[in-house]
Structure formats: structure tokens, C-alpha cells
Amino acid sequence: MPDIPLPTEPLPPPLPERAALFLDFDGTLVEIAPTPDAVQVPPTLLPALDRLAQRLDGALAVVSGRPMKDLDRFLPLPIVKVGDHGAALRLGPEAPVIGPNLPVPPPEWRARAAALAARFPGALLEEKAHGFVLHYRLAGPEAGEAARDLLASMVAEQPERFTLLAARKAWELRPRGVSKASAVAALMARPPFAGRVPVFIGDDATDEEGMAEARAAGGIGLRLQDAFGTPARLRAWLEEAVAQAAEDDASAGSGAPSAAPAAETGRARRAPPSDIPPPPKPSPEGAC
């Protein structure tokens, strides 16, 4: 046996200066759950995302295959959100949801998908505005094969309008023309994302497109399993980035030499004049 144990966990890279952060939700920010409604959002995640978005001048987006209403329910934060794999994009809590005109699956397809879900106990049909997902995590591989075959046959009827997507223990029928790549490209073309270094972090096949787009734009694409190992380690990394920003702010406020990273943070720019006491900062849950 070697004297020095080899590291067993990946070491995440530091967050680049002037990053624009794109984060998948399921399996990335939160652990995969038996059903989509059962995911647990750790209480420390919300303040970490909120503060990190402030540090990045708002250049933080959650990019998910989920409908926007799910993202609002699980992440009640005034951050940029992209739902439905890029079909729904919202720049702020008061902003309208925007997106391209997309085809809608025929009702008969939804009925056939529902019938399949009813045939396999544990299978679940998740409806979306422009498609649907058949989850087979609780139903077994036979249900997965049946779901894949059914959705593939539908796509074959209208291959120019729809495509089939393999998710984690699920098959999804979605419209062509949008993806997490198109969402990243759309956001990187506008403030506050434009001019920053895109960093996309995700865990499954749908995220590969977002990662590729980030890399093509000179940024970084990180597969969660490779770069972090688990959602818990990603969350710790996010909280560390928030703590680092607080340290930068503290050193900038103490008269220490003004480092470029601290000076360019949104928090530094939004700092109140020195004759006005800053508001108390809320502590993350678990801190004393």
C-alpha cells in the first residue's frame, strides 16, 4: 500500500474572475430525487445563490429543463432563470418570460405517453408546455425501454419539429430549436452576462450542449461528476466563493490595497458611501 493516500475526490477549479455562471438544477444544485417533486433544496443554497448573483453583478443563471414555475417554487430568488431547456427565459423577477415560438406536441401524443405511464407502476409523466418527460426511475428498465421506443416513434413522425433526449432515468420529447446551448448564447449576448467568462456546470446529457457553448465562447464547461463529485460539494464550492467575496469586500473596506477582483465585484460597486453604515448582512444558516 502506498504511504500517501491518493486523492479520491476531484478538486474543483476556482471561479474565474468576471465569470458568468450557468448552473443546472436537478442533479447539480440538488440531489436527484425519486420523483421531480421530491427534490430537497438545502436551506443554505438560497442565500449562497443570492449573494453569488450579487457578486457577479447578476450574471448567474439557473438553466434547467424544468418549467419556470418549478424553478420559482424551489428557488424563490430574484435571479436569472431559464426553464424548459431554453424555451423559457426570464432576466429578473419582474421581467416577462421570453422565448421563441415553438411547436406543441399533438394531444394524442400526450395521451399515448400517459397510457404508457399508467401501464408501468412507478412510471411518471411530466407535462411541459412544448413537450413531456417519461420518468422510469421507480418503474425499472423495461419501462425505460418502452418509453424510449414510444417517444422515438413520435419523433419519427415529426423529426423536423421534435427531438428525443436521454435524461437521468427519463426520456424527454422536446421541440427542436432550443437547448441549453441556445440559452447560454442568448444570455451571453446581453448584460450583465456579455463580456464575462461563461462557466457552465451540469450533470447530464442536456447539459453537455451548455458546456460546449460555454467552451466555444472561451469559457469553461464542467461536468458535475468530474469536477465536483456530488451536488453537496458544488454547493460547498459556491458557498466558498461567497465567503471569498466577503473577504475581498472586507479587505477593500479596510483600506488594504484594492485588488482587481474585489474592485470589480458587484458588491464592491454597490457598497454604500463610507459615511453611511452598511446594513447588517444576514448570516448563512448554520453560522453563529
Q: Let me know if 24 is a catalytic residue.
A: yes
Element (H, E) at 108: helix 107-119
Strands 124-128 and 131-135 turn out to be: antiparallel
Which residues, 192 to 251, sit near Mg ion by CB under 5 A? 203-204
Which residues, 25 to 84, sit near Mg ion by CB under 5 A? 26-27
| Residues pairing with 218 in the sheet | none
* DSSP class per residue in 172-213: EEEETT--HHHHHHHHHTSTTTTTSEEEEEE-SHHHHHHHHH
Closest distance to Mg ion from the beta carbon of 206 (Å): 7
Please tell me what DSSP assigns to residue 26.
B
Looking at the Cβ atoms of 54 and 64, the one nearer to Mg ion is: 64
Closest distance to Mg ion from the beta carbon of 43 (Å): 21
Closest distance to Mg ion from the beta carbon of 284 (Å): 24
* DSSP class per residue in 28-93: TTB---SSGGG----TTHHHHHHHHHHHTTT-EEEE-SS-HHHHHHH--SSSEEEEGGGTEEESST
CA angle (273, 246, 222) in 5-degree steps:
130
Element (H, E) at 249: helix 231-253
Counting residues that bind Mg ion (by CB under 5 A) gives 5
Looking at the Cβ atoms of 33 and 104, the one nearer to Mg ion is: 33
Catalytic residue among 3, 24, 26, 226: 24
Closest distance to Mg ion from the beta carbon of 25 (Å): 7
Q: Which residues contact 145 (CB under 8 A, 6 or more apart)?
A: none
Please give the Cα distance from 181 to 225 (Å, whole number): 20
Looking at the Cβ atoms of 33 and 115, the one nearer to Mg ion is: 33
Nearest-CB residue for Mg ion: 27
149: number of Cβ within 10 Å:
11
Looking at the Cβ atoms of 184 and 262, the one nearer to Mg ion is: 184
Which residues, 2 to 31, sit near Mg ion by CB under 5 A? 24, 26-27
Closest distance to Mg ion from the beta carbon of 205 (Å): 9
Looking at the Cβ atoms of 230 and 251, the one nearer to Mg ion is: 230
Closest distance to Mg ion from the beta carbon of 53 (Å): 20
Please give the Cα distance from 106 to 86 (Å, whole number): 21
240 burial (CB, 10 Å; 0-12 / 13-18 / 19+) is: middle
CA angle (163, 214, 185) in 5-degree steps:
65
Looking at the Cβ atoms of 111 and 166, the one nearer to Mg ion is: 166
Which residue ranges make up the site for Mg ion (CB under 5 A)?
24, 26-27, 203-204
By annotation, the residues acting in catalysis are: 24
